[in-house]
Amino acid sequence: MSVDDTGRSDRPTQEITVTVNGESVTAEVEPRLKLSDFLRSHMELRTVRVGCEQGVCGACTVEFDGTVAKSCMLYAVQADGREVTTVEALSEDGDLHPIQEAFHEEHALQCGFCTSGFLMATRELLAENPDPDRDVIEGALADNICRCTGYQNIYDAVETAADKLEGE
Amino acid sequence: MSIETEDPSEIDPAEILGSAIERREDPALITGDAEYTDDIQIPRMTHMAVKRSQHAHARIEDVDTSEAEAMDGVVDVFTAEDIDVPGSLPVGWLLETLEQVDHPILAGEKVRYQGDGVAIVVAEDRYTAQDALDAIDVEYERLDAVTDPSDALNGGPEIHDDAADNVAFEWEIGNADETEEAFEEAAHTVDLEVENQLLIPNAMEPRAAVADYNPSDNQIDLAMTTQNPHVHRLLMAGVIDHPENKLSIRAPDVGGGFGSKIHHYADEALTAWAAKQVERPVKWVATRSETYQTDALGRGHETHGQVAMDEDGNITGLKVDTKANLGAYLSTFAPSIPTYLYGTLLSGQYEIPAIHCEVTGAFTNVPPVDAYRGAGRPEASYIVERLVKHAAEHMDMDPAEFRRQNFVPGDAFPYETPVAMVYDSGDYEKTLDRALEMLDYEEFRERQEAAREEGRYLGVGFSAYIEACGIAPSELVGQLGAQAGLWESSLVRFQPSGTVTAYLGTSGHGQGHDTTYSQILASELGLDIEDIDIVEGDTDEIPQGMGTYGSRSAAVGGSALVQSARKVVEKAKKIAAHQLEASEDDIEFEDGEFRVAGAPDRSMHIQDVAGAAYLAHDMPDDVEPGLEASSFYDPENFVFPFGMHAAIVEVDPDTGEIDFETYVAVDDVGNQINPKIVEGQIHGGVAQGVGQALYEGAEYDENGQLLTGSMQDYTVPKAMHVPEMETDSTVTESPHNPLGVKGVGEAGTIAAPQAIVNAVVDALEPFGVENIEMPLKEERVWRAIHENGGDA
């Protein structure tokens, strides 16, 4: 079956098996299907948001085999045999992840469209550097665009998240 | 420096108005629970894509869709010939001299900008729809294109048959004779030519629409990225000739707008129309490239400004001549932006006896230009504050003191300007003084002098901005050409169990309305915020509305909410008096409780009154059952937020690189409902202003091809591009609305560009630099330094 919900099979497809948020998924996909579209339309993962399809805005950022990647810049077939993690995996049993809590407390989002990407970028940053200074944060957020917040509260949220994670 | 947030559940309703509580909308937005338009999936849904012109100006000779129609998975293909409805996008603001031109939802004879739609494909999936676009063959006869307003007006190629010389309108405000006299009598005059470049709004969520049509009852349900669903419904009903009461428009979560989702574009109307044709749901989602080609642009002014002064540096006259780029067609509110939202703000914070402004609107071959965050007011503030900087320099006066000397004095409010505005309230020296204190201004001037001796170039720039928001008194805007009233409406409804739902005609898209409206209502009704639900953005649920733009939601929507809440309390008071067997005159209402004066143990909570009102077993005479009220609030006047933004920068004369040392924002937006949300609006607004000053600009080549076609090429600011900001505020209430609020959505964007440009010009004063055009890219700065030989 193809992922476009049409059931048509006239175009060539390829079988892939991907671990998405800890669950193994097998699907028939067109080779040209972007990973972002696979995650959104096939897996119904809404936190993967498509803002530019040019690899600039970072709204579609996911964790791909342990490092953050822009899912609009990958094809679904490249995820065959790989692991993908999205923001859906962060909150457990309805409880927000400390990074999500920090974004909430610091008003680090307004329209929310870009926020998933920032959450994933922050998650990777704090895993590598639990106590980053402003310059380090600036560098870690360089692949993500937010048009609403002017980034000020996002810096605060990353610092607050670092404190929360340190206290855990 | 930043404001600490509070958990709303820990705050008493009496204290909640003005508290920096956490936002209620966040949990959905930071998990997968939010629903943006593209998240909507409907069984049997098809996907629409738009074939767009690659030429900026061309005659269409033939459109061959046969190959596309034959493709597997293509449901249908439509061109201009198939459009069986009026299909022309309307203009919502008319001017006396306006040339109205046809704006078809699909171009049939001519394309007028790169991105103008010529055909649509409806297909089983998005990829197939895109494939089919490539299979459509359009033959064009190319025509010369023009993108600059002055070139368009001075012998440019004719874009519309009805608009001679590409003139869309000629407009003026102020008093020409008195202004001329002021210049004749002036001891000093200065002038500047400045550009305010075209900007692309760049909401993070691209525009999108999903339409579902039910033929048996002729009902269209349209979910779309909109800032004003009721306005879109009214306009679209005409465009696609569908009864307004059979067209429902809903704004799901909307990922930013900044003005770009106010306007009525072709694509959303085509989505609804196509759903009716194919009798299946249709989804359309713009790619980023499409938003770059079709979202209404902002700004686009070429301006000559002149200031007249007496011998002491008092401003005696201001003359402004602007050529405004309107793009290829008139977008929804386009005629109002470079006129009534621009010329009326040219007095700035200053007492200027005579002002005259002339604006010529020009058609060009760029996408239509309309409101983008600030809309007219940034352009006004830019020319005024650049001229003031220039004038102070000419007079050899300190720019802060020059401003102070010319300010409208604190005791002069309400203050009537020569350009038709009556400022509600203000205290301009207060924001100036606070900014000077935050900058440590005197110390800075010493540092600046010392640095210059070492060959380092520091500069400070001020921006004393004013804006008019809380748009707008209906009768007044009607006289000025608006084809709509600009009131706002609300409905406050208690449920029998004591919970409340408030319905508002504004439509938030990131501003945190769920939070701030809840704060207002909790305060008015004395309820816990948990008992309040806010509904916006749905024509089926909300009786009427005008939407969110022009920093109007708190001042106009919030006031409509207060008005309904007070009607509810008034009715509840009658019921409570009856229940408590007291005279209505003896009932007091505080913190949600109705009490009999002098008998504090006789009381009834408003939530219990709600129960009694629906039970209706024992109601006072002439009082209907139920507890709800609706209202339309029409503001008396605009509200006028103001403030002082200032930047300190260092410019590297070898590279033209600009470094921020400090960015200070002192804003007065009246009373603040949630100071953390206010601060966030300032942060985001300033970031967009920094973008305009230093990085952003839609650039086209001589054929009208967009050169800045991606977020990378255009340079939407990233974290490293935005300086750390120091914010503070003063509070001068607006006397015109029950909340005393003014508005904050656009302040930062209006204020920032001229603070930065003034700072850079100040830094480069030793090189004889008087002006640099935005965006201040390194090369431009370097060239400006070297224009006069490059010697300090």
Q: What is the CATH number of the domain that holds A134?
A: 1.10.150.120
Predicted confidence at residue A7, as pLDDT, reads 42
> Does one domain contain both B664 and B699?
yes
Whole-number CA gyration radius for chain B: 28
- The residue behind tokens 């048509």 is A8
Nearest C-alpha of chain A: how many angstroms from B79? 25
Nearest to B32 among A45, A149, A153 (CB): A45
pLDDT tier for residue B89 given thresholds of 50, 70 and 90: very high
d(CA B468, CA B414): 14
Structure tokens at B512: 């945190």
Predicted confidence at residue B719, as pLDDT, reads 97
State which of A31, A58, A89 marks the end of a domain: A89
Predicted confidence at residue B2, as pLDDT, reads 82
Residue B204 to residue A51, Cβ atoms within 8 A = yes
Report if residue B682 sits inside a domain.
yes
Residues of B in Cβ contact (< 8 Å) with A57: 204, 288, 711, 716
> Does one domain contain both B756 and B652?
yes
Nearest C-alpha of chain B: how many angstroms from A82? 22
> Does one domain contain both A22 and A73?
yes
> Does one domain contain both B608 and B669?
no
Residue B718 to residue A145, Cβ atoms within 8 A = yes
Q: Are B569 and B525 within 8 A, CB to CB?
A: yes
> Does one domain contain both A120 and A138?
yes
pLDDT tier for residue B1 given thresholds of 50, 70 and 90: low
d(CA A150, CA B683): 5
Structure tokens at B423: 């400022």
DSSP state, B88? B
Nearest Cα to Cα of residue A6 among B43, B630, B414: B43
Handedness of CA B510, B706, B365, B337 (dihedral sign): positive
d(CA B561, CA B541): 16
> Does one domain contain both B599 and B499?
yes
Residue A110 to residue B511, Cβ atoms within 8 A = yes
> Does one domain contain both B451 and B502?
no
State which of B596, B611, B633 marks the end of a domain: B633
Report if residue B191 sits inside a domain.
no
Which residues form the domain of A63? 14-89
Nearest to B5 among A10, A105, A148 (CB): A105
State which of B600, B616, B633 marks the end of a domain: B633
Nearest Cα to Cα of residue B332 among B220, B475, B236: B236
Residue B684 to residue A47, Cβ atoms within 8 A = no
Q: Report the residue of chain A nearest B711, measured CA to CA.
A: A56
Which residues form the domain of B692? 421-468+638-792
Nearest C-alpha of chain A: how many angstroms from B294? 14
Report if residue A5 sits inside a domain.
no
Q: Are B424 and B639 within 8 A, CB to CB?
A: yes
Report if residue A6 sits inside a domain.
no
Residue B255 to residue A49, Cβ atoms within 8 A = yes
Model confidence at B574: pLDDT above 80: yes
Nearest to B127 among A32, A111, A144 (CB): A32
> Does one domain contain both A137 and A70?
no
Nearest to A112 among B45, B253, B288 (CB): B253
Q: What angle do CA B72, B75, B80 make, to 5 degrees?
A: 120
State which of A68, A89, A110 marks the end of a domain: A89
> Does one domain contain both B642 and B780?
yes
Report if residue B296 sits inside a domain.
no
pLDDT tier for residue B788 given thresholds of 50, 70 and 90: confident
d(CA B495, CA B532): 10
Residue A150 to residue B684, Cβ atoms within 8 A = yes
ipTM of the complex as predicted: 0.97
Residues of A in Cβ contact (< 8 Å) with B687: 147, 149-151
Nearest C-alpha of chain B: how many angstroms from A50? 8
Model confidence at A4: pLDDT above 70: no
Q: Report the residue of chain A nearest B252, measured CA to CA.
A: A111
Instruction: Give the CATH number of the domain where residue A64 resides.
Output: 3.10.20.30
Predicted confidence at residue A2, as pLDDT, reads 37
> Does one domain contain both A19 and A49?
yes
pLDDT tier for residue B540 given thresholds of 50, 70 and 90: very high
Residue A111 to residue B204, Cβ atoms within 8 A = yes
State which of B568, B600, B633 marks the end of a domain: B633
Report if residue A134 sits inside a domain.
yes
Nearest to B711 among A6, A10, A52 (CB): A52
d(CA A125, CA B504): 40
- What's the mean pLDDT in B414-442? 97
Nearest Cα to Cα of residue B785 among B655, B690, B697: B655
Residues of B in Cβ contact (< 8 Å) with A33: 127
* Contact status of B70 with chain A (Cβ, < 8 Å): no
Report if residue A142 sits inside a domain.
yes
Residue A109 to residue B29, Cβ atoms within 8 A = yes
Residues of A in Cβ contact (< 8 Å) with B204: 49, 51, 57, 59, 111, 113-114, 145-148
Residue A49 to residue B73, Cβ atoms within 8 A = no
- What's the mean pLDDT in A33-40? 98
Nearest Cα to Cα of residue B242 among B263, B208, B271: B271
pLDDT tier for residue A167 given thresholds of 50, 70 and 90: confident
Nearest to A4 among B127, B712, B719 (CB): B127
Category of A66 on φ-ψ map: left (φ > 0), alpha (ψ -120 to 50) or beta? left
> Does one domain contain both A82 and A33?
yes
What is the per-residue pLDDT across B24-35, written as a single tens digit (0 to 9) for each?
999 999 999 999
> Does one domain contain both B619 and B644?
no
Report if residue A71 sits inside a domain.
yes
> Does one domain contain both B506 and B552?
yes
Across the A:B interface, residue pairs with CB atoms under 8 Å apart total: 194
State which of A69, A89, A109 marks the end of a domain: A89
d(CA B128, CA B113): 26
Structure tokens at B399: 């720019």
Report if residue B751 sits inside a domain.
yes
Predicted confidence at residue B114, as pLDDT, reads 98
Report if residue B493 sits inside a domain.
yes
Residue B204 to residue A5, Cβ atoms within 8 A = no
Structure tokens at B240: 């696609």
> Does one domain contain both A33 and A73?
yes
Nearest to A47 among B32, B203, B720 (CB): B32
> Does one domain contain both A153 and A118?
yes
Predicted confidence at residue B789, as pLDDT, reads 80
Category of B340 on φ-ψ map: left (φ > 0), alpha (ψ -120 to 50) or beta? alpha
Helices (H), B44-140: 66-69, 126-135
Report if residue A9 sits inside a domain.
no
Report if residue A108 sits inside a domain.
yes
d(CA B749, CA B786): 30
> Does one domain contain both B453 and B510?
no
Q: Are A91 and A97 within 8 A, CB to CB?
A: yes
C-alpha distances (whole Å) from B157 to each of B77, B161, B180, B296, B365 are 32, 11, 34, 22, 10
Pairing of strands B725-729, B658-668: parallel
Q: How many domains does chain A have?
A: 2
> Does one domain contain both A79 and A117?
no
Nearest C-alpha of chain A: how many angstroms from B41? 9
> Does one domain contain both A161 and A105?
yes
What is the per-residue pLDDT across B741-774, written as a single tens digit (0 to 9) for each?
999 999 999 999 999 999 999 999 999 999 999 9
> Does one domain contain both A77 and A24?
yes
* Contact status of B454 with chain A (Cβ, < 8 Å): no
Nearest to A150 among B253, B686, B720 (CB): B686
The amino acid present at B574, given as its one-letter code, is K
> Does one domain contain both B642 and B731?
yes
Structure tokens at A118: 């920032």
> Does one domain contain both A109 and A60?
no
Report if residue B737 sits inside a domain.
yes
User: In chain B, which among 670-709 make CB contacts under 8 A with chain A?
Assistant: 676-677, 679-680, 683-688
Convert B301-314 into a string of H (helix), E (strand) and C (coil): EEEEEEEEECCCCC
Helix (H, G, I), strand (E, B) or coil at B272: helix
Q: How many domains does chain B have?
A: 2
Report if residue B775 sits inside a domain.
yes
- What's the mean pLDDT in B420-449? 98
What are the backbone dihedrals phi and psi of residue B77, each rounded to the nearest 5 degrees, phi first?
A: -130, 135
> Does one domain contain both B612 and B521?
yes
- Summary mean pLDDT of chain A: 93
- Summary mean pLDDT of chain B: 97
Predicted confidence at residue B790, as pLDDT, reads 80
Q: Is B777 exposed, middle or buried (0-12, 13-18, 19+ CB in 10 A)?
A: middle
Report if residue B261 sits inside a domain.
no
Residues of A in Cβ contact (< 8 Å) with B38: 40, 50
> Does one domain contain both B646 and B765?
yes
Model confidence at B566: pLDDT above 90: yes
- What's the mean pLDDT in B503-523? 98
Predicted confidence at residue A11, as pLDDT, reads 85
Instruction: Give the CATH number of the domain where residue B663 resides.
Output: 3.30.365.10
Nearest to A109 among B30, B717, B722 (CB): B30
Mutation target to probe the B interface, by most B beta carbons within 10 A, among A3, A111, A123 is: A111
d(CA B336, CA B331): 10
Q: Report the residue of chain B nearest A111, measured CA to CA.
A: B510
* Contact status of B746 with chain A (Cβ, < 8 Å): no
Nearest to B26 among A109, A141, A152 (CB): A109
Mutation target to probe the A interface, by most A beta carbons within 10 A, among B30, B38, B72 is: B30
Residue A50 to residue B253, Cβ atoms within 8 A = no
Helix (H, G, I), strand (E, B) or coil at B215: coil
Helix (H, G, I), strand (E, B) or coil at B677: helix
Report if residue A8 sits inside a domain.
no
Model confidence at A10: pLDDT above 80: no
> Does one domain contain both A106 and A140?
yes
